[in-house]
Amino acid sequence: MKKEHIGLHCAALIIPISNTTMPSQLSYSYEPTQFTQTFVEQRKELGARAMPSFPRPIESVDRGNLLKVACVQLATPGSSSPKQFIDRAEEAVVKAVYEHGANLVLLPELFQGPYFCQSQDAALFAIAESDIDVDGENDLIAHFQKLAKQLQVVLPISLFERKNNAFYNSVVMIDADGTNLGIYRKTHIPDGCGYQEKFYFSPGDTGFKVFHTKVGTVGVGICWDQWFPETARSMALLGADILLYPTAIGSEPQDPNLDSSDHWQRVQQGHAAANVVPVVGANRIGTEILLDKDGKEKQRIAFYGRSFITDVKGAIVTEAKNGADIISAEVDVIANRSIRAAWGLFRDRRPGMYGIIKTKDGHQPM
């Protein structure tokens, strides 16, 4: 399909993060208290780590109206060391820029460690990040600000946030010059077997947001947000040129036969088509095994990957292979804005008729 028809081009090559693609069967185990202790100890070292010097890649030179987005699918690491979690993410960003020419890179949800919401364990509150809204105060954000500035790439960073006595599942948007553009806090918080997020996170209070970056207007939701059309429509109304969803989704511990991966993709394809905006979903892949204090398995989730990028009509133009992969595509921001305007979906909206959406059960109060 020609560029002017879809406004988005798919990179032909999917590049694994390591020399060999990691199989989805790869797994690791963790016990929450032990992981938390190691995490806290190793995070103290992050602020002292020197950032390598990266020359500006020739591919990252101003691309005009073209936003080159890379979607990173991270695989289960060889160990549960927090340092390894962050190292693999940093390596992926560098490869996305140098090997794909990306100027926007999306990492999965809560990539600094295992998806800890499999269980309810108070010890894990200690791994939450504070002061993420102040430049230079949080070591994790400061680290990725330095990386973004050197590589001139936009980086949405998903993390577990602590704000005084409140805890959120949040994204900090870092612009291509290293500027902290602000925070989005996850609006919809799931609660189910294996995905017990309501124990850890309060519903976000930021409202839906877009961020005006150097490569375009970027909207970001977080995982469970992606199932709600209101999330995508709100960001589109705010002028989003692209919708990003960092994700952690896989098997359902209560029903091993349930595979939501097709449904997961289709609902987001619908958001892209209904709003005429490309959608990017970055998931993790591999099996994470939750242990009890005696080292015995309590539960496991097999994250299914299937990270993808759509065009403005909702078609998937590239999907990650099985394992740790980087996929990418070019988005012609100006051409896409013209397509949206010409299609008339926003022109013909009737906001005054949609009051029922504000209700919980479909009935207006008497």
Active site residues per annotation: 109, 186, 223
Our measurement of the distance from residue 14's CA atom to the centroid of its chain's CA atoms, rounded to an integer in Å, reads 18
Residue 290: φ, ψ to 5°: -85, 130
Q: What is the DSSP string of 285-298?
A: EEEEEEE-TTS-EE
Distance CA 283, CA 281 (A): 6
Distance CA 113, CA 109 (A): 10
Distance CA 269, CA 277 (A): 10
Residues 87, 319 contacting (CB under 8 angstroms)? no
Q: What is the DSSP string of 295-342?
A: S-EEEEEEEE---EEE-TTS-EEEE--SSSEEEEEEEEHHHHHHHHHH
Q: What is the DSSP letter of 203?
A: P
